[in-house]
Amino acid sequence: MRAQQAATTLVAVGVTGWAARRVLTRRAARNSPAAEQSHWRFVTVNVAPEQVRPFPQPLRELDAEIVVRPAPGGRGTEIGVRLNEGEPTGAKAAAQRFAGTDPRQAVRKALRDAKQLLETGEILSPDRPGTNTKTLTGKPLELAIAHAKGEGKQ
């Protein structure tokens, strides 16, 4: 019985130490100058680099730095965008994301729309559900469609 209690205590101390290190590491990362910078987000388009300029309207609306470079292996062009202001973190970021006002969502949407404009000449939109009747169970689907272009891996 005592061995089991000792093992449980060791596990609890180990998990507590791990959690404390994780919190301190994240806090230090948030307070560092690098935390104020935005991440680059890229999209590959199937056009030559010369065809990307002037930038499509969705990219011109952003307050961001934009780079254009040939994609590896001669497979089109990469367009990269990084916000000029820092990205939100913590509770502020969660609230903005939920409200649909997160600047990262605007970058993702602009990149997707620019890709569609460059490759097809128009911005495509998903089909709406087949019914016009608003239902409680259809609300999650409506929200998912409304926020789909602003979401992504990063």
pLDDT tens digit sequence for 9-54: 544 445 455 555 665 555 555 554 544 567 899 999 999 999 998 9
Residue 144 has pLDDT above 50, yes or no: yes
Q: Is the dihedral of CA 110, 116, 122, 125 positive or negative?
A: negative
Q: What is the pLDDT of residue 92?
A: 79
Euclidean distance between CA atoms 4 and 11, whole angstroms: 11
Encoded tokens for 87: 């990205």
Q: Which of 116, 118, 136 is nearest to 126 (CA)?
A: 116
Report the alpha-carbon distance of residue 152 to residue 150 in Å, rounded.
7
Long-range contacts of 26-35 (CB under 8 A, 24+ apart): 30/89, 30/90, 35/86, 35/89
For the ranges 4-13, 43-52, 116-125, 145-154, the lowest mean pLDDT is seen at 4-13
Please tell me the predicted confidence (pLDDT) of residue 111: 94
Per-residue pLDDT, averaged over 90-118, amounts to 86
Checking if the pLDDT of 147 tops 90, the result is: no
Please check whether residue 32 is in contact with residue 89, taking contact to mean a CB–CB distance below 8 angstroms.
no
